[in-house]
Amino acid sequence: MSESDPEEPVLVVTDLRREYADKVAVAGLSFDVKPGEILGLVGPNGAGKTTTLRSIAGILPVQQGSISVAGFSVTEDGHRARYHLAWIPDDPKPFDSLTVWEHLDLVAGLFDVPEWKSRATELLDFFSLGDKRDALGGELSRGMCQKLALAMAWLPRPKLVLMDEPLSGLDPRGIRTARRAIQEIAASGTAVILSSHLLELVQQLADRLLIIDEGRKAFEGTLEEAHAGFQIPENSSLEDVFFAVTEKPKGAEPEA
């Protein structure tokens, strides 16, 4: 794919289905994300958000359907697809035998990042981790782990960043920094999928919403489209939309 075509999706998910022995986690989900776009992924507990993100990141094998990242199929060309994405789990545990600086060194090696040291220094300063440069991963607080995970994700300038509850464990200052980081990551042309239960934050950051419920797409579009589609007042928040979407009778679709 071309480097800077803003209309060509970075991520294309087609008819993704994932089953476990006793339940269907994702049931035929299809969506795409364009460069520089922030997609807010919301849904109740157990809706299939983390399973979807893990399938995109290549962590879970794709049972049915297809996923392509930057033009590479996650199933057939997994390592090339993963080269273009970064995954931030909800509880990112750093490696306890590496220092903060060495975590960035590791990422630079994994993603073949040239001239990484100056950028790594900038990132540590951005996330206020400069004084923790030589601290081991096991010595970091939960908030610092989150910030380190964000720095590691941003270092190789991936085309897609997958974030699963990226703000859990952060203090107010950390939340502000992380919010700014997400906006800057997107501004640099990277697509972001932001999965979170903090609906206010998703409303502030996301360009588009994907609400899933019981593994199915319940709504995809902007907040304004949701207002119109579900016939709710224009100044309603994402929280109102969320309840309108997830509590509607099964099978009901938004009006066009």
Partner 1 sequence: MIAIPSAGLRRLMLLECRGYLRGALRRLKTPKGATFALLGGLLLAVWLRSLFQSPDVIGVGEQAIAREGTGGLPEGDLVLRTLCLGVLVLVSISGVVTRGIHIPPERLERLLALPVSRSDFLRYRLWSVVARTMTGAPILAVLAMVRTNSSGAILLAVPLFLGLSSVLGFLASLLSAGMESSPAFVRVTDKLRSGGRFLLLMLLLLIPVVTAGRAAPELLPSWLVGTGASLMETFGQVDFPALIRLLSRPLDPFLALAQGSGAASLFKNGSLCILIVLAVLELAARVPVDFREMAIEGAKSSAKRIRSAGSVGRAASGGRARVGLFGVPHLFGRGPMGAVAWRKLSGIWRKARGFLGISLFLGCFLLFGVRLIFGGDLFRVAQAGQSIEDVTYLNDIGSAVLALLGTLYLTNGLRFDFREDLVQLDILKSWPLQPWKMFLGSLLPQTMAISLVVSALLLTWLLISEATGLFILLLVLALPAVVFAWVAVDNIAFLIWPVRFVPGQAGQLQHIGRGLLLTFARMTLFLVSFGLAACFGALAWLALIRVESLGPEGLITSVALVVLGVLLAVDCGLAMVGGMAFARYDPARDRV
Which of the ranges 38-46, 134-142, 174-182, 188-196 carries the binding residues for partner 1, by CB under 8 A? Answer: 134-142
The vertex-71 CA angle with 56 and 6, nearest 5°, equals: 100
Of 146, 147, 110, give the one whose Cα is nearest residue 130: 147
Single out the residue of 52, 60, 43 nearest to residue 13, CA to CA: 52
119 or 227: CB nearest partner 1: 119
Does position 1 interact with partner 1 (CB under 8 A)? The reply is: no
Going residue by residue from 183 to 222, which x/- string records binding to partner 1, judged by CB under 8 A? ----------------------------------------
Q: Among residues 72 and 219, whose Cβ is nearest to partner 1?
A: 72
* CA dist., res. 150 & res. 139, Å (int): 17
**Interacting residue with partner 1 among 5, 19, 96, 184 (CB under 8 A):** 96
Rg (CA), the chain: 18
- Does 17 interact with partner 1 (rule: CB under 8 A)? no
Q: State the number of binding residues for partner 1 (CB under 8 A).
A: 36
Q: Which stretch binds partner 1 (CB under 8 A): 98-106, 122-130, 188-196, 241-249?
A: 98-106
CA 214/CA 232 separation, integer angstroms: 23
Q: What is the C-alpha to C-alpha distance for residues 163 and 86, in angstroms, rounded to an integer?
A: 8
Selected from 1, 12, 27, 106, the binder of partner 1 by CB under 8 A is 106
- Residue of 2, 20, 224, 247 that binds partner 1 (CB under 8 A): 20
Residue whose CB is less far from partner 1, 93 or 180: 93
- Of 98 and 205, nearer to partner 1 (C-beta) is 98
Q: How far is CA 11 from CA 66, 86, 179, in A?
A: 11, 13, 22
Using CB under 8 A, pick the residue from 27, 65, 66, 80 that binds partner 1. Answer: 80
Determine the interface stretch with partner 1 among 50-58, 170-178, 184-192, 223-231 (rule: CB under 8 A): 50-58
Question: What sign results for the dihedral spanned by CA atoms 199, 218, 25, 75?
Answer: negative
User: Is position 46 an interface residue for partner 1 (rule: CB under 8 A)?
Assistant: no
What CA–CA distance (Å, rounded) separates 74 from 70?
Answer: 10
Residue 24 touches partner 1, criterion: CB under 8 A: no
- Cα 63 from Cα 97, distance rounded (Å): 35
Cα separations (Å) of 18 from 6, 9, 62, 79, 217? 30, 23, 7, 21, 14
User: Across-strand partners of 210?
Assistant: 41, 220
> Which residues sit at the interface with partner 1, rule CB under 8 A?
20, 25, 51, 54, 57-61, 78-80, 82-87, 89, 92-93, 95-99, 102, 106, 108-112, 134, 136, 138
